[in-house]
Amino acid sequence: MRASCSASGVRAPSASTAAKRKHATPSANRRDFLAFVAFLSSSSAPASRAQFYKRSFRERFETSISSATHDYSFEYPEDWSADIVSLNDGKLYGVDTRYKSDTGNGQLAVSVLPFVGADGIKDAGTPEDVLQRFEELIGAYWEQNGFGQPGRTPSSTSVSTKNGVDYYLYELVSPHNLISACIVEGELYLMVASCGARSWKSAEGDLRSIVDSFKVPP
């Protein structure tokens, strides 16, 4: 059967075409609605679950190398908690702050050590040269009363600058350690975020965010 024409000469849709449109419209509308709901959900979700830490001399004086230590800062996941730093760890390893994952998914430590003869980390030598100055301290204070593993070759190194302060960034494996190091007014600041091999896949994103957020004011 031919479709009928209206008075204006425009061909009217056939009955089968109209039926298809009738059934297609609700489905299309539903897809549009679901897409809109998804957009609202994603836009209203929190951008980050990170917590902010800023060092305070009043809190950390018992482990500080000197009263001139700058109030460094970093961000960490909300399911991480502060780990008590003993006087022995502070004096022997320069540890000033430690945090651990409540689920065993990583840990971090900030060490502050005296460093003579360089105004900034680039003045102290190449990333590899500087690493040799502190590599024995990496991870030494976590599980054993001894020193770390010297002679490890970083899988990658890079340099970044924040507020005029230069940082050397390192990645070591076996175990995984991500490190940010800088020198400010005669002190070497080390942020070391680490985890075991089994946790690396799930912890990598958090560890990289922690190290990237580490800042020491000039």
Cβ atoms of 194 and 104 closer than 8 Å? no
Say which DSSP state 12 is in. P
pLDDT in tens, 63-88: 555 677 899 999 999 999 998 887 77
Say which DSSP state 5 is in. B
Q: Which residues contact 174 (CB under 8 A, 6 or more apart)?
A: 152, 197
The amino acid present at 89, given as its one-letter code, is D
Distance separating alpha carbons of residues 137 and 146, to the nearest angstrom: 9
Query: What's the pTM value of the predicted model, to 2 decimals?
Result: 0.72
Q: What angle do CA 44, 46, 209 make, to 5 degrees?
A: 145
Distance separating alpha carbons of residues 96 and 62, to the nearest angstrom: 9
Q: What is the 3-state secondary structure (H, E, C) of 128-162?
A: HHHHHHHHHHCCHHHHCCCCCCCCCCCCEEEEEEE
pLDDT in tens, 130-174: 998 888 777 665 554 445 566 678 899 999 999 999 999 999 987
